[in-house]
A and B are shown apart, each in its own frame.
Chain A
Amino acid sequence: RKEVEQDPGPFNVPEGATVAFNCTYSNSASQSFFWYRQDCRKEPKLLMSVYSSGNEDGRFTAQLNRASQYISLLIRDSKLSDSATYLCVVNNNNNDMRFGAGTRLTVKP
C-alpha cells in the first residue's frame, strides 16, 4: 500500500463547477501537509499548505482530518486554467516528504 494515495482521475468538469479531491495517508505521525499543482510536462509548484483548522485561498479550500488521515482540496468556480495534476504531499519528519501520484483535473468550456 502506498503511503500517500490519491484517486488518479481524470476528473472532467465544466467551467464554473465545484470539484473536490481527497488524499489519504498511512503514517499517523505525519506532521505537515501540502497541495502542489503540476502542469503537463512541467515542474510541481506549491499551491497551498494545509492547516489543522482548514484554510482557504481564494477559490481553493484545503482541509485536514487527522483522525481519518485524509486531506482534501476543494476548488470552486473552476477555470480552464485550473486544468492540471494536483499532488498531495505529506511531511513525516523534516526531509521525509512523501508525494502522492496526483489527481488529474480537466476543466472544459
Chain B
Amino acid sequence: DAGITQSPRHKVTETGTPVTLRCHQTENHRYMYWYRQDPGHGLRLIHYSYGVKDTDKGEVSDGYSVSRSKTEDFLLTLESATSSQTSVYFCAISVSGFIGELFFGEGSRLTVL
C-alpha cells in the first residue's frame, strides 16, 4: 500500500463546469502523475510533478491544469469540463525513483454530461 488516495472517486458534472480532482499521498514521494484511461486506449499522461510547484505537461494536457503546493497533494483541474473529458482518472506516484515502477490510486470516475 503506497498510501495514495483520490477524491472524489465518482463525479457527474455538466459541460462547462469546473472540476478539481485531488490526489493525496502520505509518504512524501517526489514524483506524482495524473493519467486518464479510456476504452481502446492505454493510460495517457496528462501532467506530472517532480516537486512542490514543479510540474510539466504530458501527452494529453490540453484542457487540464495542475497544482502542487504541498508535497502530499497533487490537484488536477478541468477549468471547463467537456464531454470528451469523461474518463477514469488515475493518480500515480513513483516510489523508488525509477520511473517505470508506478503505484496508482484507485481512480476517479468522471462523467461530463
Contacts and interface: CB of A to CB of B under 8 A. Distances in A.
Given A95-B45, A98-B42, A99-B44, A46 B102 contact: yes
Interface residues of B, number: 23
Contacts, number: 54
Interface string A47-71: 0010000000000000000000000
Contacts of B105: 43
A23 B35 CA distance: 21
B42 A99 contact: yes
Interface in A92-109: 94-102
B100 A102 contact: no
Give the interface SS of chain A, mostly helix, strand, loop or mixed. Answer: strand
Interface string B16-45: 000000000000000101010000111111
A95 B94 CA distance: 10
A94 B58 CA distance: 12
A91 B45 CA distance: 12
A35 B17 CA distance: 37
15 contacts: A4-B42, A32-B100, A42-B106, A43-B90, A45-B103, A87-B42, A91-B100, A95-B31, A95-B33, A95-B45, A95-B99, A97-B45, A99-B35, A99-B42, A101-B41
Sorted nearest first, the 5 A-B pairs with minimum C-beta distance are A99-B42, A43-B104, A99-B43, A91-B100, A101-B42
Interface of A: 2, 4, 8, 32-34, 42-46, 49, 87, 89, 91, 94-102
